[in-house]
Structures are given as C-alpha cells and as structure tokens.
Amino acid sequence: MGLHEECGVFAVYDSGGNCARTAYYGLYALQHRGQEDCGIATINELELSCHKGSGLVGDVFSESVLTELNGTMAIGHVRYAVAGSTRRENAQPLTLSYIKGSLAVAHNGSLVNSAELKREYEYRGAVFHTTTDSEIIAYIIAQARLHSGSAEAAVSQAIKHLKGAYSLVVMSSRKLIAARDPWGFRPLCIGRKGDSIFFASESCALDSVEATFVRDVEPGEVVWVDEGKLHSCRENCKGTSGLCIFEHLYFARPDSIIDGQSVYDARILAGRYLAGEHPIEGDVVIGVPDTGLVAAKGYSLATGIPYNDGFVKNRYIGRTFISPDQANREEAVKIKLNPLRATVSGKRVIMVDDSIVRGTTTTPIIRLLRDAGAKEIHVLISSPKFISPCYYGTDIPSKDALFACNYSTEEMRDVIGADSLGFLSLESLGKIAPDSNCRFCDACFTEDYPIK
C-alpha cells in the first residue's frame, strides 16, 4: 500500500446533446483513478462551458450544473496530483480562448521535459496560471494550431515536442480529439453507442454508459471525431510500447480490459505465480482491500488454501484519506480497515497486498491482525520490490524513501513485524499479461527507463 492513483480522462461526442450527464457517469466509473479534483467541459453550439472543483464526482456536480453544461461534446477528468500541487486551479479540464477559438484539454500522465518546455514558452511571453503539465500541452497545441490546417493536425504536431507519458482528450469548437504518447504509458480506449463516440482511460467507463468497446488508441496515434465520424492519424506511431505494468497490478479496475488483457485475469495470474514462488503452510488467505483481493484469490486457487475476507473496509473513505503525516498514519489505517476476528483469530494468515512502497502502512495493518488474534502472518506482495522512482506520472518517491532501497527482505520483514515476506519475481511479472498486445514499462522495478 502507499501508491496513489493515476488520473482518468473521459470524452464523448453525442449529437443528441446529452454529453454532460454521460461524462458524469463515465467519470464516476473512473473515480478510483483520482479523488482530489474533477471537472467536465462541454461544447454547445460552439460555446465552451466548464465546471470543476475539489472533491469526488458526486460532490462536485449537481443536477442543475449538469443541465446547464449540456452540449454535443464533452471531456472530463478525475485527478490525483502527481505533477503540480493540490491547488484548486490545477483541476482539469484546462480551458483557454485564443485567436483560433476555444480549446479544452484533459491529460493523464507526466512529461519528463516539462520544465524545459515551460521555460521556452515563458521566454516567448506565455504566462502560466497552474503548475500542471496540462497547461504546457494546451499552450503547445494552441501555438501549433496557428500554423496548422486543423485542430487534429495541431495535436499531431504538438506530440513531436512532448516527452513522457500522456493520454489526452482535447476539444475544439467543432472536433473531439484523443491522443496517446508514442510509448502508450497510460491507457486510452475508444467506444461507440449508436452514433455516439467515446474515449476513456479504461473500458469500465465505457461499460458504465452502455457503450461498446471498439479498440485501444495505439501508442502515438491521434484519433478525432468530426461531424460524427471517427478519423485516425498514425504519423507519430513508432512501433514502440511501454504501458505501465502497474495498471494491471493496482491502478486499473479489475473489470477493465487494457490493450487486450483482462486486469482481473492478470491479478489472478500474479497470485498464482506468487504461490509457485512462495509456498507457505497456512490456514487462510486474505487480501488487503481493494487491490490485493484478486491476487489473494489467485494464490488460494493455486494452493487450495481457503480464501476469506480478512478486513472490512470503510467504504466512505477514499484512498486519498490516508494522511501523509507519519504520526497519523497508523490511526488512519485503523479508521480505514478493521480486521475480521472470525477469519484470522488463531489462524496462520497469508496476507496478499499489491505493493510495499515506503513500508509505513504495512506495519499498522499487521499490528491490526496481531491484535485480532492471528497466530502467524505471512505477507506476500504481488509485485517485485520498488527500487527506483517513476517519472511518468506515478507517485513513486525517490530512492531514499523506498523501503526496498534501504533494507534487505529479512530486514523489511523485521520492520513490518511479519513472520515471512515474499515478493513476485521479475520473471513472473513478465508473464502476468499473456493476452496483452503491448510491451510494458517496469522501470520502477528494474531502473530500465524507456525515456531517459
């Protein structure tokens, strides 16, 4: 535990003009990807409107707001602050007006050359009002549009200047555009329902609006909707791919399919491989809610050791509730999770979680199990050890804050208070997504960065 979500983007073209409400439902399905801010921008007869704020989707949008926002196109965003502070003005979509009209941009990912690009545009006279990469991207698109014949051509030109991770949805006065970086670090897919066309970070958002999954946006591809028709430009496609492997281990909802691979099946496989690498004599297998549950089931299926619920999670607390203050972290865990004594008391417990980053939340979780009467606690992690930070939009800290960079496995076990501790091997990590049609970025485990 300890990682934070990516952001999530959603976009819809619907000539019937019910886009704001549709985007609202799509963002609801993507709420797990960001719980700090959210927003929706719409176009209605060339007029751009936007509403955004801090908090969950259900808190920021009311019936009256959605009625006022309605239009024929909409883009939406849920945000966890990776690049940029938690200031309210950093909420997306980002909107701007310029000589060619209006533009709205929502973005998932992080650029590695953002500081360089920001300096370049500041020397040209640009004034930035946020600390997000999204504003830099919007400026570059607007600048490219001055010398391009269309909005989609401007987006295609802008991609040539961007380095890093970005899945984008862009809305001009007449067109809805989506783009994915040439490595495909972040997921982005296309859906359809009748004459309506959708773009979303995950396929689960398409399911929520009863849209049919069409395909994933290819790494480097720019796709757009013009007068209800879908078009594509692949001039930036390089035949590379590097989807963040942690989409399958943690970020994505288990009912999503990303680049051909079921997230649920990937997590089941991770649990099965854990069983082969770390056979343990136990009485019950439990998972840490929510992202450790499916891998725990996989471990149980492979070993025959019964799986059961080990914790009750307070469903009224989002992932962002956990306080970054070390002094408050243990109390926060107690409020969020409560062990089921009937499951763990007197038992040899095998507890599966998705990751250990700083190691600061695992210790109080184990203490909760001890207090509930667990006889033994064996901790298994469905990912390898984190040994390096991420520069592409995942909140993985510098090496000095990474647990595995400061302790051996046995020392980590002693610190967290477990009877044993095991991690998924790199070899097994490479086999958890056999149906995927892309390669993966695993730099946080290997230090092998696709983009330096």
Give the CA angle between residues 72, 75, 80 to the nearest 5°.
160
Torsion angle of alpha carbons 309, 315, 318, 322, nearest 10°? Answer: -60
Helix axes 362-371, 326-336, angle to 10 degrees: 50
C-beta of residue 76 within 8 angstroms of C-beta of residue 24: yes
* Residue type for position 375: K
* Residue type for position 13: Y
In this structure, what DSSP letter does residue 248 have?
I
HEC string of 77-136? EEECCCCCCCCHHHCCCEEEEECCEEEEEEEECCECCHHHHHHHHHHCCCCCCCCCHHHH
Residue with tokens 């960079």: 405
C-beta of residue 259 within 8 angstroms of C-beta of residue 216: yes
Q: Which helix (H) or strand (E) holds 193?
A: strand 189-193
Q: What are the respective helix, strand and coil percentages of the chain, to the nearest 5?
A: 35, 25, 40
- Residue 354 tokens read as 């998705």
* Residue type for position 317: I
Q: How many CA atoms lie less than 13 Å away from 376 in the CB half-sphere?
A: 12
Listed in sequence order, the DSSP H helices in 339-391 are 341-344, 362-371
Residue with tokens 């992080």: 110
Q: How far is CA 183 from the centre of its chain?
A: 16
What's the Cα-to-Cα distance from 302 to each of 152, 299, 307, rounded to whole Å? Answer: 49, 5, 11
Q: Is the dihedral of CA 200, 202, 206, 212 positive or negative?
A: positive
7 given a catalytic annotation: yes
Beta-carbon contacts of 175 under 8 Å, excluding residues fewer than 6 positions away, are: 150, 151, 152, 224, 225, 226
* Residue type for position 326: Q
CA-closest candidate to residue 4, choices 81, 58, 92: 81
CA–CA gap between residue 384 and residue 393 (Å, rounded) = 19
Three-class SS state of 78? strand
Q: Which residues are catalytic?
A: 7
